[in-house]
A and B are shown apart, each in its own frame.
Chain A
Amino acid sequence: MLALESGGGSSLLTWMTFLPLVGAIVITLLPGKARELHRTVALVTAAGPLVLAVKLFTSFDRGTADIQLWQQVAWIPSFNIQYFVGVDGISVTMILLTAFLSFLCIVASWNIDKHTKGYFALFLLLETGMMGVFIALDFFLFYVFWEIMLLPMYFLIGVWGGPRREYAAIKFFLYTLAGSVLMLLAMIALYLNVQDPATGGHTFNMLHMMNQANHGSWLLNPDIRHVLFLGLFIGFAIKVPIFPFHTWLPDAHVEAPTAVSVILAGVLLKMGTYGILRICYPMLPDAAAWFSYPLAILGAINIIYGACCAMAQTDMKKLVAYSSVSHMGYVLLGLAVFNEAGMTGAVLQMFNHGTITAMMFLMVGVIYDRAHHREINGFGGLGMVMPRYTSMFSLALFAALGLPGLSGFVGEALVFVGAFEVYRTVTIISGLGIIIGAAYVLWMLQRVFLGPLNEKYTELPEITTRELVSVVPIAVLVILFGVYPPPLINMIKQSLLHLIAQIPA
């Protein structure tokens, strides 16, 4: 069970979470034509959480698994619902990712001209929702943030998306809603069967739920626990997404505007695995251990199936979307084995996939803005006309195929090391993913950038400064955490060691 850091009591997290909301409100009050103003306000308000997140990342006490910077206020006393927030190492990592990508996405969205008011307001609302999910320590609060995030995402895809945006938006919404319902049911079951040690009443307090001593007798039945675990797990699995709940992802990505794809793949997918780490595992550790092997198999399926599907795609965004399915499989495989290397690898992979896939989507966006299509076979030889862009995209692609020295490798390697000890065969099969992963990446690289230059694109303009500004910071992180991962590892280490200790062997 996680303890609260003594002292505590800080409003930093609250500021960080609700600053974007304030920005969103300000934007809605501005006149609709003031596009530059919308963008500027969005940029400034997104900068706030980023600065705070960096401060949080640097000042966080890495030596303890305790919850830090917590804040606890009664919210709906009749149901014992609290505004209860706080962070451990895992959440800090995710918060940094969220703040970082949100800010860069505002930069990348600078060329959005359609309804800028709604777009940027929704984007900021989305950021509040995401931040909230990562700081919430009250399950009800968690659920509210979870749902808040869903709505702006739905509209961002449905209004600013591509030709089939409505189908994609509704599909996304219904899929995640189905997951939410399962989560809701499990949450209520937990609420009714976990006792608040202080009052003896029901509680949504996640820390109480993590303490097995508070679990009521009904909740001690292993079958019940397995069912509850499964409910929560499927709820989160849809978000990850884990096979066979993944088909919303390619559609959503293809239709979503670039920046939304970035957030979708960079942050939203991580909420699924974050939920597993924050809720499924610590609250029902015995069930987690019981499901370990199936989880590993699902991880392997995601890796191989996602990679094979990616290789069959001819749309760049779909390819990247399926590559996310594959890469999230590594996360799941690492999470399935409850050892230091595997779990650390999984969380590193969450962060690193966030940055790498964000980079890839931004790069696809750059070419889409110029050529107005994403057909892999419709390009060729772009390396001749856009050398800088080619270098940048290649960096992202090599990071995606797990090249050492770039951040994708560290997580993947640790997952392999951890998983190999426990499930050898499954890991060896998953290992084929490094071959197929290289195959789809290099094949795409060849078809788009190498070979003779496609006559149609002799005049394509090189990547602009604004586009570089949105992607170079990510590239820096990809290299930095690839060469020297300890800042990230030390951040999550204590939390993971604590969590591993909870799970019965």
Chain B
Amino acid sequence: MDSIIQSALIILCLPLVSYLITFFFGERLPRRGDFVGVALMGVALLLSLRIFAHFWGVNDPTHQIEQSWNWIVIGEFRADAGILVDGMTAIMLVVVNLVSFLVHVFSTTYMAGDRRYSRYFAFLGWFTFSMLGIVLSNSIFFLYIFWELVGVASYVLIGFFFHKNSAADANKKAFLTNRVGDFGFWMGILLFFTALGSFNYNDLFAGVAAGQISGTTLSWAGVALFMGCVGKSAQVPLHIWLPDAMEGPTPVSALIHAATMVAAGVYMTARLFPLFDPNALMFIAYTGGVTAIFAATIAIVQTDIKKGLAYSTISQLGYMVMAVGAGGVMAGMFHLTTHAFFKACLFLGSGSVIHAMHHHQEMGVMGGLRHKMPITFATFLIATIAISGVPPFAGFWSKDAVLAQALYYGMTNPGHYLPFIMALLAATITAFYMFRIVLLTFAGKPRDQKLHDHAHEGGFALTMPLIVLATLAVVSGGFHGFGLDLTWFDRFVADPASEEHAVAPVNDDGLFALVPSAHAQDHGDDTHGDDAAHSGDGHGEVAHGDDHSDAGHGGHDLHHVAHERAMYLSLLAAGLGIFLSFMTYYWKRISSARVLAALPGVHRVLSNKYYVDEAYRDTVVAGLLNVNNLFATFDKVVVDGIVNGVGSVTKGFAWISGNIDRYFVDGLVNATGELMRAFGGVVSSVQSGRIQTYFLGLVSGLVVLVIVYRVAWPS
């Protein structure tokens, strides 16, 4: 077995082992078993870094190492279990294991004293295991399996404080909303499997490239598959569960509902990118764009620090999804990575604040905490600068890549600038609401002096993860010269070569007057990993060539132009947002109260989150409950009514015939009559003596029937 595969398997198993030990023996171990998870996750992190280093050295995004094992084989049908490791996997392994490790450490203090402390660590292990399964799978079948398993981890952790009704509502809502997305996901999987006969990624890519599935079927299959992402990554209109998921412990929000699990949808879309045709991709790009701005606007009016961050997460996930939809697998994954670091930092920072504020999370009681909690403040501020897109922080580079991709999409698909515009607006709003949170929490005067007096910085277990993540929020974007297209990320992930993003001719409007292109040429014919059992080719080599034989260079230029423009615009957006935020919440030149008073309708709509929850409650949920009651009543009244009716009629008939043929009845009629009378409740006690009667009746009736048949039907 390849040593990388071996490491990957060990990484996968470590959190599972942590789960089993902590779940079954945690309470009996010293420190209630928390060190098990911390230690095992530390090992997993080291192994992940080893794989990361390997792929850094390989420097080839198409390099894959894959191994499969038989799982279910029935005739023609087979579903294999398998592991696929490539650059994208390596990145995800580090992200998941690093954040998981830090959250484990953070939780040792944050959750200390909880009565279900061991359980908590067990569930963290379970989550990490399932999440790594998503990352490592090489088939959509196993992707789906682990996809559901993270859902359960999310369920139990959102509902960790299940004695609260709000938590019990939230975890059910999360699971069911995700199930709706998973329904689509599963149907997409079935569509692809039915058409292509395999669950394996590379087989599917080859099948799609060979045109074995095409036209509207391919579009629908892609959209269906993407439904899984809409659920898991909380895209509009299935975003409703994520804000409620903040009922879970805050470190869980950081790990699951900010950094990793919710990004699984983005990972899936990026991983399965070759399965989406231009129509599906356009749908994806728009969904992401709409989500980005939709959630950002709601974030402005949140007063709960975690809720504000939750809507920010939805919005940022929208960015990633939009990037992938616009053809930017690299950009989407890049933003996923940097976002994991700075958003985990923000959530853990908010956890540190909430811990200090005795579990108050309303920003209304905070303020002025920067002196009390300097480390939390500094790291939170760094992460905020990163998410706002200020250079040279990590978020700037990745957001720039995303925006550039969106702009490029607009340039190559005329008329489709909307995702870019939405994303740009969202960038401004992001900078605004993020600084609003920082200023309301850490700046100004304390609004609750009593709470404030007790607040203090947590210990090493709370601050160390913050410092690590804040450092990554600065450096994980890499440092580049302005205008340089390549990032360190290109070593790991490349945009899959595909013709569709360039087939639409560019309308030469003077502004973006450049040659239409197939940027595909840049990557399409790279060599594939020697170890790969299935080669990832197929896509990319089909439609390019003659038409665009000299267009590769032009595509590069177009990318370059898009990058440059996007960069200036995003700098402008971030600056504007930050400026407005300071004007409102620091210098107080703009009165938020007056702005809101001037726009009462807007405020009401935003505070009510555009009434999406209410709309679902009144339509889908109410509808289902009505159908349930309708069916249940139908069952009782109609179906059972017929049964009982038949029973009474037969009873009457049996009574008549019983009287007429009293002395001629045979065993069968006798027994039936008895039964019918009993059915009406005549027989009130059952004696064991009846067994023989019934049995005799049955057997003799049977014999009679046989004889009747022989006579009536000779031969």
The stretch of A266-274, A425-433, A462-470 that contacts the partner chain: A425-433
Q: How far is the CB of B197 from chain A (nearest CB, A)?
A: 10
B705 within 8 A of A: yes
Complex Cα gap A311–B629 (Å): 8
Chain A residues, Cβ within 8 Å of B180: 435
B631 & A446 in contact (Cβ 8 Å cutoff): no
6 A-B pairs with CB atoms under 8 Å apart are A151-B694, A166-B684, A166-B686, A340-B76, A420-B191, A445-B172
B183 & A416 in contact (Cβ 8 Å cutoff): no
Given the known interface contacts A403-B152, A442-B175, A451-B168, the answer about A174 and B74 at a Cβ–Cβ threshold of 8 Å is no
Complex Cα gap A341–B159 (Å): 36
B71 & A244 in contact (Cβ 8 Å cutoff): no
Residue of B nearest to A442 (CB): B172
Which size class do A's interface residues fall under?
35 or more
The stretch of A55-63, A207-215, A485-493 that contacts the partner chain: A485-493
- Name the contact of B72 in the complex, choosing from A169, A450, A489 (C-beta under 8 A): A489
Given the known interface contacts A170-B678, A434-B182, the answer about A381 and B628 at a Cβ–Cβ threshold of 8 Å is no
Chain B residues, Cβ within 8 Å of A453: 163
B611 within 8 A of A: no
Complex Cα gap A443–B176 (Å): 10
A83 within 8 A of B: no
Q: How far is the CB of B169 from chain A (nearest CB, A)?
A: 8
Complex Cα gap A493–B146 (Å): 26
Complex Cα gap A177–B176 (Å): 41
Complex Cα gap A339–B75 (Å): 10
Chain A residues, Cβ within 8 Å of B71: 484, 486
Chain B residues, Cβ within 8 Å of A147: 695, 698
- Name the contact of B165 in the complex, choosing from A404, A418, A420, A451 (C-beta under 8 A): A451
- Name the contact of B632 in the complex, choosing from A313, A383, A449, A497 (C-beta under 8 A): A313
A171 & B179 in contact (Cβ 8 Å cutoff): no
A192 within 8 A of B: yes
Complex Cα gap A184–B167 (Å): 56
Complex Cα gap A493–B72 (Å): 11
B635 & A309 in contact (Cβ 8 Å cutoff): yes
Complex Cα gap A246–B627 (Å): 19
B163 & A452 in contact (Cβ 8 Å cutoff): yes
What are the 5 tightest A-B residue pairs by CB atom distance, in nearest-first order?
A: A312-B632, A450-B168, A404-B145, A312-B628, A340-B75
Counting chain B CB atoms within 10 Å of each CB, the highest count among A312, A443, A449 belongs to: A312
The stretch of B86-94, B251-259, B495-503, B639-647 that contacts the partner chain: B639-647
A188 & B706 in contact (Cβ 8 Å cutoff): yes
Q: Which of B688-706 contact A (CB under 8 A)?
A: 688, 691, 694-695, 698, 702, 705-706
A493 & B172 in contact (Cβ 8 Å cutoff): no
A438 within 8 A of B: yes
Q: Which of A214-248 contact B (CB under 8 A)?
A: 216, 244, 246-248
B72 & A485 in contact (Cβ 8 Å cutoff): yes
Chain B residues, Cβ within 8 Å of A405: 145, 148-149
The number of chain B residues with a CB under 8 A from chain A is 69
Complex Cα gap A489–B77 (Å): 12
- Name the contact of B709 in the complex, choosing from A192, A443, A452, A484 (C-beta under 8 A): A192
Counting chain B CB atoms within 10 Å of each CB, the highest count among A175, A432, A445 belongs to: A445
Chain A residues, Cβ within 8 Å of B625: 311
Q: Which of B151-195 contact A (CB under 8 A)?
A: 152, 155, 159, 162-165, 167-169, 171-172, 175-176, 179-180, 182-183, 186-187, 190-191, 193-194
B144 within 8 A of A: yes
Complex Cα gap A159–B684 (Å): 11
Given the known interface contacts A158-B686, A403-B148, A451-B162, the answer about A305 and B74 at a Cβ–Cβ threshold of 8 Å is no
Given the known interface contacts A247-B640, A446-B172, the answer about A434 and B186 at a Cβ–Cβ threshold of 8 Å is yes
A439 & B176 in contact (Cβ 8 Å cutoff): yes
Given the known interface contacts A192-B709, A244-B639, A309-B628, the answer about A431 and B162 at a Cβ–Cβ threshold of 8 Å is no
Q: Which of A147-194 contact B (CB under 8 A)?
A: 147, 151, 154-155, 158-159, 166-167, 169-171, 173-175, 177, 184-185, 188-189, 192
Count of A-B contacts judged by CB separation below 8 Å: 174
Chain A residues, Cβ within 8 Å of B1: none
Complex Cα gap A413–B172 (Å): 23
Q: How far is the CB of A67 from chain B (nearest CB, A)?
A: 21
B715 within 8 A of A: yes
B681 within 8 A of A: yes
- Additional 5 contacts, C-beta under 8 A, given A118-B688, A484-B71: A305-B635, A312-B628, A442-B155, A446-B169, A451-B163
Complex Cα gap A188–B702 (Å): 10
Complex Cα gap A173–B678 (Å): 11
Chain B residues, Cβ within 8 Å of A309: 628, 631-632, 635
Chain A residues, Cβ within 8 Å of B164: 451-452
B713 within 8 A of A: yes
Given the known interface contacts A184-B705, A192-B709, A442-B175, the answer about A167 and B643 at a Cβ–Cβ threshold of 8 Å is no
- Name the contact of A404 in the complex, choosing from B76, B148, B627 (C-beta under 8 A): B148
Q: How far is the CB of B552 from chain A (nearest CB, A)?
A: 40
Residue of A nearest to B642 (CB): A244
A381 & B163 in contact (Cβ 8 Å cutoff): yes
Chain A residues, Cβ within 8 Å of B193: 417, 420
A174 & B675 in contact (Cβ 8 Å cutoff): yes
A497 & B75 in contact (Cβ 8 Å cutoff): yes
A431 & B187 in contact (Cβ 8 Å cutoff): yes
Complex Cα gap A309–B705 (Å): 39
A434 & B179 in contact (Cβ 8 Å cutoff): yes
Residue of A nearest to B199 (CB): A417
A404 & B706 in contact (Cβ 8 Å cutoff): no
Counting chain A CB atoms within 10 Å of each CB, the highest count among B164, B190, B627 belongs to: B190
B602 within 8 A of A: no
B163 & A188 in contact (Cβ 8 Å cutoff): no
A421 within 8 A of B: yes
Complex Cα gap A312–B163 (Å): 24
A112 within 8 A of B: no
B660 within 8 A of A: no
Q: Quick one: CB contact mask for A119-147 with B, threshold 8 Å, 1 for yes?
A: 00000000000000000000000010001
A486 & B72 in contact (Cβ 8 Å cutoff): yes
A398 & B152 in contact (Cβ 8 Å cutoff): yes
A434 & B176 in contact (Cβ 8 Å cutoff): no
Chain B residues, Cβ within 8 Å of A175: 643
Chain A residues, Cβ within 8 Å of B593: none
A472 within 8 A of B: no
B511 within 8 A of A: no
Given the known interface contacts A435-B179, A452-B163, the answer about A443 and B681 at a Cβ–Cβ threshold of 8 Å is no
Q: How far is the CB of B675 from chain A (nearest CB, A)?
A: 6
Chain B residues, Cβ within 8 Å of A418: 77
Q: How far is the CB of B104 from chain A (nearest CB, A)?
A: 22
A416 & B172 in contact (Cβ 8 Å cutoff): no
- Name the contact of A155 in the complex, choosing from B191, B639, B686 (C-beta under 8 A): B686
Complex Cα gap A439–B148 (Å): 15
- Name the contact of A438 in the complex, choosing from B179, B629, B684 (C-beta under 8 A): B179
